[in-house]
Amino acid sequence: MSKVSVLGVDFDNKSFKQFQNELIGRINTHQSTFVVTANPEIVMSANENPEFMKILNYDADYVTPDGIGVVKAAKIQGTPLKERVTGYDLFSWLMKLANERSLRVYLIGAKPKVIHAIQTKIAREYSDIQLVGAEDGYFKDDLEVVAYQIERAEPDLVFAALGSPRQEQLLDILRKNLLPALMMGVGGSFDVFSGMVKRAPQVWQKAHLEWFYRLLKEPSRYKRMGKIPKFMVEVYKSKKDRR
């Protein structure tokens, strides 16, 4: 199955390696490409927001299963996905690719101190990247104005860490304007990449408990994490309804 639907959101059923190969192909040919990395929280949000659901299913070029909850849900339905493909793993790989190829990168989102930390890291460890934009997420301009500013910078890669659905709404504008770049929403990836937030140790990642590690480190995420049990309840209800 090339697509697997989980609570109405259509996920691309590809391995991490397959995503890499396809994205490289599109970068090589400067195809306008919009990637969504969707976790259970995003799926639940899309179910509450028809416009957001439309962005995911009709406007995005790829939707990756970012979150073990999505992978487990697909298995429960009897339509398994090949593997979890996280936004952070794609983002960190694309940043290495950008450094190898001296690509033009535009970053937008997160707190000012996080953006400053990323700029410092890029200058030190990814010095061949052409950083054509680095803006925090506390701007007051309309998304259309911000999209125009990004277009003027002529980036090859655009990463937005504005939270969902705002980051996807911004990238959707750029995709509809056919910006010849790869664009991806990365949620909290800037925080981790900058070093301001530590990613879960490998043992937690392999146990698929990265979300729980993050919750322990940031108790303020409790309300957001509360959507995960609700997500699983809806998955089981959906399975029952199919019968």
Distance between CA 29 and CA 32 in Å, rounded? 9
pLDDT surpasses 60 at 212: no
Distances (CA, A) of 153 to 46, 83, 181: 30, 35, 11
Most confident stretch, 26-30, 220-224, 233-237: 26-30
User: Which of 227, 159, 222, 219 has its CA nearest to residue 188?
Assistant: 159
pLDDT surpasses 60 at 217: no
Distance between CA 51 and CA 195 in Å, rounded? 34
CA atoms within 13 A on the CB side of 56: 31
Strands 33-38 and 62-65: parallel
- pLDDT per residue as tens digits for the range 2-23: 999 999 999 999 999 999 999 9
- pLDDT per residue as tens digits for the range 160-184: 999 999 999 999 999 999 999 999 9
Give residue 230's pLDDT.
Answer: 83
Mean pLDDT of 78-84: 95
Q: Which residue has the tokens 């990395």?
A: 37
Degrees, nearest 5: CA angle 32-36-38: 170
Distance between CA 143 and CA 176 in Å, rounded? 13
Model pTM?
0.90
Give residue 67's pLDDT.
Answer: 85
